[in-house]
Structure 1
Amino acid sequence: MKTYHFLVKGRVQGVGYRITTQLNAQRLGVKGVVRNLSNGDVEVFAQGEDIIIQNFKKYLKIGSIMSKVTSIEESILDTEKFEEFKSKY
């Protein structure tokens, strides 16, 4: 299964970005994980049908009310299958 890897940059930590991402993923049926990185970025691994992932990516760009996404780097990986979407701390 394809796994989309997103590296989200901007004001995305301490502003509710992870929980917003998790809620949007669960609503859309996306499986994967979101986590903060030590450099201030947020990393997202997402699995789902291509059209669902494209919709999910729109939500990644929007973020939470207090976040400001400046860029998103995207790649496709071949990893294990995720059973759910969760936030890691």
Structure 2
Amino acid sequence: MYTRILVFGHVQGVGFRITTKLRADQLELAGFVRNLPDGSVEIKVEGNKHKIAALIEEIKSGYHPGIVIERLDIEKGINTNSFKNFIIK
């Protein structure tokens, strides 16, 4: 499964991208995470749908107190197999 997640809230400058990468690596997911100019964070991830669901649930929890999630926009699709690992852009 391919999933694009836009994360809105206080998510830049608080370790969100590195935490997302570490967890995606643990879950053996591929894709990327990057900051967007509007202050949101974009995640594109491919892999097992149950593992992606686990990542989404962890993101919703905010990972730690410095991260405040206001909204997630989630778009699902079919794997493109265009990612070999998970990176921070």
The two structures have a TM-score, normalised by structure 1, of 0.90
- Provide the C-alpha distance between the structure 2 equivalents of 1:54 and 1:64, rounded to a whole number of angstroms: 15
Deviations 1:56-76 (A, max 9, x none): 111221234211011100002
- The runs of at least 4 consecutive aligned structure 1 residues that moved more than 3 Å come to 77-80
- What's 1:6 paired with? 5
- Structure 1 contact 18–87 (Cα < 8 Å) conserved: yes
Q: Give the drift of 1:80.
A: 4.7
- Structure 2 contact 45–52 (Cα < 8 Å) conserved: yes
Matched position secondary structure for 1:5: strand
- Provide the C-alpha distance between the structure 1 equivalents of 2:5 and 2:57, rounded to a whole number of angstroms: 12
Q: Which moved more, 1:36-45 or 1:77-86?
A: 77-86
Q: Give the drift of 1:81.
A: 2.1
Aligned-residue CA RMSD in angstroms? Answer: 1.3
- Provide the C-alpha distance between the structure 1 equivalents of 2:23 and 2:81, rounded to a whole number of angstroms: 22
Aligned residues: 87
Q: Give the drift of 1:77.
A: 3.8
- Provide the C-alpha distance between the structure 2 equivalents of 1:30 and 1:53, rounded to a whole number of angstroms: 8
- What's 1:72 paired with? 72
- What's 1:87 paired with? 88
Query: Which stretches in structure 2 are left out of the alignment for 5+ residues?
Result: none
Q: Which moved more, 1:21-30 or 1:79-88?
A: 79-88
- Structure 2 contact 5–73 (Cα < 8 Å) conserved: yes
